[in-house]
Amino acid sequence: MTRIHDCSTADGRSAGLAAATEAVRTGRLVVLPTDTVYGLGCDAFDTDAVNALLRAKNRGPDMPVPVLVGSWTTIEGLVREYTYTMRTLVEAFWPGGVSLVVHEAPSLPWNLGDTRGTVMLRMPAHPVAVDLLRETGPMAVSSANVSGHPPATTAQEAVDQLGEDVAVYLDGGDGTVGTASTIIDVSRDRPRVLREGAVPAGRVAEVLGMTPEELRGTCDPRRR
User: Residues 127-152: pLDDT tens digits?
Assistant: 999 999 999 999 999 999 999 999 99
Q: What is the DSSP letter of 163?
A: G
126 within domain boundaries? yes
215 within domain boundaries? no
46 within domain boundaries? yes
110 within domain boundaries? yes
CATH number at residue 179: 3.90.870.10
Please count the structural domains in the chain. Answer: 1
Give the range of the structural domain holding residue 33, as residue numbers without chain letter.
3-209
Convert 73-102 to b/e letters by CB count within 10 Å (16 or more is b).
Answer: ebbeebbbebeebbeebbeebbbbbbbbbb
What is the structure's pLDDT at 221? 44
Q: Interhelix angle for 201-208 vs 84-93, to 10°?
A: 130
Residue pLDDT, tens place only, 9-22: 999 999 999 999 99
What is the structure's pLDDT at 222? 41
158, pLDDT greater than 80: yes
223 within domain boundaries? no
Average pLDDT over residues 58-70: 91
Q: Give the dihedral sign, CA 110/113/115/120.
A: negative
70 within domain boundaries? yes
101, pLDDT greater than 90: yes
- Threshold 0.85, pTM exceeds: yes
What is the structure's pLDDT at 178? 63
Q: Which long-range contacts (CB under 8 A, 24 or more apart) does 190-196 make?
A: 190/214, 190/221, 191/85, 191/89, 191/215, 192/216, 192/217, 193/217, 194/101
- Angle CA 93–71–171, to nearest 5: 85
Taking the C-alpha atoms of residue 108 and residue 89, their distance in angstroms, rounded to an integer, is: 23
